[in-house]
Amino acid sequence: MTLTLKAHRDEIGLKDGQLLVAGTWRAAADGATWTHQHPATGEAIGEFPVATVSDVDAAVRAARTAFDEGPWPHARAGERIRLLHRYAESLRQHADELRALQALDNGIPLSFGGIYAPSVDCAADVFDHHAGWVDKVGGQTLPPYQGGDHLAMTFREPIGVVAAILPWNAPFLLFAQKVAPALAAGCTIVLKPSEYCTFSVLRQVELLLEAGLPDGVINVVTGPGDPTGEALITHPLVDKISFTGSRAVGKRIVEASAGTLKRVSLELGGKSPTLVFPDAPDVGLAAMTTMGTVTMGLSGQACVAHTRALVHRDVYDQFLGAAEMLAGMITYGDPFEASVLASPLINTRQLERVLGFIERAQEGGARLVTGGTRPDGDLAAGNFVRPTVFADVDNGMEIAREEVFGPVLAVVPFTDEDEAVRLANDTEYGLGAGVYTTDARRAFRLARRLRAGTIGINGFQIEPHLPFGGFKQSGLGREGGQSAFEAYTELKTVLMPLTDEMM
């Protein structure tokens, strides 16, 4: 029987989405809508508006008014802190509902809910974490450098109107990583969810309003990159763009921001390496963990998936055997089934793209160990691709250089530590890297030599208080921790003479 998710949709009672402008939910000015087709079945699941240029303008102006005239940027620290904690608690209480909405959005299985980083629990922790900065990050009082006696102080002030643009693959964590520090700092927001993951984001916004956020502090424009996203990134009244998504759109945002010199933070893609040495604590486990990042839950559609395994020749076959074994254990299908472990690819364009990478890797001489095909039968209408492992990959091949964003692991052999470092750093990206070794000195040597934002030694995790972001073309700036909060502020210097003498 062909897979269908309509019964889940009806049970959840999914409503069509709306835009949020100045506290009012409404349709697009021209009534245009986007139909969400589920990636596991191709079924039409629901609709939401495609915000036009005039809708985006209205949303930005609402955020501008809320910033220039509203209470939020001047709210007492205690008020902001209480709201952020209240919302974190509300997220925890609505975790099951949000996970179900996500399964209807992007097909990520409920079974993945226990993995910390993309979970509702982690998102709630991010709000609690940023609530903690509100009354702890301030300016400085500095001594006079020369001249008469004077006061010199710095203040941290909210940066203004933030355009927050989300990808589709981690709607809880990424919503929190942008909205929490922006609200904590006193900014107002125009949020654009991905057109491939809208319903779970709209519900998070509803909960924020229920927690007591004043009207206009968060506004939502739904729709695709063109026209909705373009209208947002080119709007002159936006002060900062905070974007997570592909490198190509990140570059477009840098261009578009130049007109009014908007502040920009970018969390982009990766081609993160895992380096496995013969003295790894457990080579089989290292292989299964690495393969897990390119299969479990998101089917490799994760920025930090370790898609390039650099494996010492002495343990190369052992690594390949364990990776192949894990590939064989991955199950697909109805994301609401507890036994289903991985998602489909997000849309048919991405399906074709991934199949293209697989075909060209084979033509280029990479050895297909497992996968490379699509399941048929009742899963034929979904965008599923079997977990795929390529061995004997040369680091110059496309499969070792491009972000595939699918369940594909490229395994490259190496002979010694210097070669491993050279291969690992030979990439345009720099988001993450993993090292498997029991030699502590080697671990720290490599942690210093690898050019990436987060280095995992015998394990990898994203946590709310840790800076996360990329070197090189993996991004600009960091999310998580104090530096993320500060990225939503401007530093202002205030001077005042204390005597009649000039400064």
Specify the DSSP class assigned to residue 225.
I
For tokens 């204390």, name the residue.
498
Cβ 403 to ligand NAD shortest distance, Å: 6
Task: List the structure tokens of 324.
Answer: 């192949």
Nearest in space to 217 (alpha carbons), one of 208, 226, 204: 208
Query: Under the criterion CB under 6 A, does residue 235 sit at the interface with ligand NAD?
Result: no
Nearest residue (CB) to ligand NAD, 248 versus 498? 248
Burial (CB < 10 A; 0-12, 13-18, 19+), residue 139, is middle
Amino acid at position 279, single letter: D
Query: Under the criterion CB under 6 A, does residue 112 sit at the interface with ligand NAD?
Result: no
Query: Under the criterion CB under 6 A, does residue 233 sit at the interface with ligand NAD?
Result: yes
Nearest residue (CB) to ligand NAD, 345 versus 389? 345
Dihedral of CA 11/17/21/25: which sign?
A: negative
String marking each residue 475-494 x if it binds ligand NAD according to CB under 6 A: x-------------------
Nearest residue (CB) to ligand NAD, 109 versus 118? 118
Cβ 434 to ligand NAD shortest distance, Å: 16
Nearest residue (CB) to ligand NAD, 181 versus 413? 181
Q: How far apart are the first and last CA of the chain?
A: 82
Q: Which of residues 260-289 bind ligand NAD (CB under 6 A)?
A: 267-270
Q: Is 403 one of the catalytic residues? A: no
String marking each residue 385-404 x if it binds ligand NAD according to CB under 6 A: ------------------x-
Query: Under the criterion CB under 6 A, does residue 57 sit at the interface with ligand NAD?
Result: no
Cβ 477 to ligand NAD shortest distance, Å: 11
Q: Which residues pair with 244 in a beta bridge?
A: 267
Query: Under the criterion CB under 6 A, does residue 252 sit at the interface with ligand NAD?
Result: yes
Q: Is 303 one of the catalytic residues? A: yes
From 201, 298, 303, 315, residue interacting with ligand NAD (rule: CB under 6 A): 303
Query: Under the criterion CB under 6 A, does residue 169 sit at the interface with ligand NAD?
Result: yes
Task: List the structure tokens of 42.
Answer: 């191709």
String marking each residue 182-201 x if it binds ligand NAD according to CB under 6 A: ----------x-xx------
Nearest residue (CB) to ligand NAD, 47 versus 439? 47
d(CA 270, CA 451) in angstroms, rounded, equals 12
Question: Among 303, 402, 403, 486, which one carries the catalytic annotation?
Answer: 303
Nearest residue (CB) to ligand NAD, 238 versus 280? 238
Query: Under the criterion CB under 6 A, does residue 55 sit at the interface with ligand NAD?
Result: no
d(CA 423, CA 364) in angstroms, rounded, equals 19
Query: Under the criterion CB under 6 A, does residue 118 sit at the interface with ligand NAD?
Result: no
Number of Cβ atoms within 10 Å of the Cβ of 360 = 14
Are 294 and 307 a contacting pair, CB within 8 Å?
Answer: yes
Q: Which of residues 423-462 bind ligand NAD (CB under 6 A)?
A: 431
From 187, 217, 249, 369, residue interacting with ligand NAD (rule: CB under 6 A): 249
Q: Which stretch binds ligand NAD (CB under 6 A): 41-49, 127-135, 219-227, 280-288?
A: 219-227
d(CA 338, CA 298) in angstroms, rounded, equals 15
Are 324 and 294 a contacting pair, CB within 8 Å?
Answer: no
Q: Which residues pair with 445 in a beta bridge?
A: none
Nearest residue (CB) to ligand NAD, 204 versus 370? 204
Number of Cβ atoms within 10 Å of the Cβ of 497 = 14
Site size for ligand NAD (CB under 6 A): 29
Is it true that the peptide bond before 227 is cis, omega within 30 degrees of 0?
Answer: yes
Query: Under the criterion CB under 6 A, does residue 161 sit at the interface with ligand NAD?
Result: no
Q: What size, in residues, is the chain?
A: 503
d(CA 239, CA 259) in angstroms, rounded, equals 11
Bridge-based pairing state of the strands 141-142 and 150-158: antiparallel
Strand-by-strand arrangement of the 141-142 sheet? 141-142, 150-158, 489-497
Query: Under the criterion CB under 6 A, does residue 407 sit at the interface with ligand NAD?
Result: no
**Residues interacting with ligand NAD, by CB under 6 A?**
165-170, 192, 194-195, 224-226, 229-230, 233, 244-246, 249, 252, 267-270, 303, 403, 405, 431, 475
Catalytic residues: 267, 303
